[in-house]
Amino acid sequence: MDSRILIVDDEPLLVKGLKYSLEQDGYVTDSASDGREALNKYENQKYDLIILDLMLPEIDGLEVCQRIREKSDTPIIMLTAKGEDMNKILGLEYGADDYMTKPFNILELKARVKAILRRSATKSSNLSDQIMYVDDFIINTLGRKVIVNGKEIGLTAKEFDLLILLATNPGKVFNREELLEIIWGYEYYGDLRTVDVHVRRLREKIEKDSNNYEYVLTKWGVGYYFRNRT
């Protein structure tokens, strides 16, 4: 079955060009010109990937991304005309899988689309109905659910992937470059602070004390690791 992609942007010529180029590669595409229309289409149709502009009428791209992330881990590539690092990081912090700054090379975008879809398909085929018990965590790899001390924790796709990687390799220190390569699944050209943002968000959700971390620890000057206390 061909992958279905939703393109959300208020620039008709850009949408037309993206649809044509992606359909030439065999993808099925749909489009929305504002955030409200995008959410309505998302509610009524299954998509394998969403290309989402940051600046949208009605509801902006960050809010659209956040609402989708509350319900699913459908891959999202953010598009932004802004060049500031914080805007890019903020987009990823809200749950996007990747971002590209306009104007962008269509071949690079298609390469990223292909890589993300391939990684998503591999992840789905490799998952088994498995429950992992790690320290205080109960991790359902199929349902992508995490329970800590009896409470279910809502994690974004990248936060979940980070936790799985670290928790299944207790004591192993990963530097930020390694985490970008492993979690994002392809060579990533973004800011390394993207990792710091995701680690911070993960800690906010799983750690009891923000001043005394129990699980995800920092080895200063090197990277991050998971401390298994049992």
pTM: 0.62
Q: How far from the centroid of its chain's Cα atoms is residue 154's Cα?
A: 14
CA distance 138 to 38: 34
Query: Coil, strand, or helix at residue 185?
Result: coil
List pLDDT tens digits, range 4-50.
999 999 999 999 999 999 999 999 999 999 999 999 999 999 899 99
List pLDDT tens digits, range 125-134.
554 447 777 7
pLDDT band at 84 (very low <50, low <70, confident <90, very high): low
CA distance 28 to 126: 25
CA distance 211 to 111: 41
Q: Which domains does the chain show, CATH number per domain?
A: 4-125 (3.40.50.2300), 127-226 (1.10.10.10)
pLDDT band at 168 (very low <50, low <70, confident <90, very high): confident
Cα dihedral 48, 52, 56, 60 in deg (nearest 10): 80
List pLDDT tens digits, range 145-163.
888 877 888 888 888 889 9
Whether the CA torsion 38, 43, 47, 49 is positive or negative: it is positive
Q: Quick one: pLDDT at residue 117?
A: 86
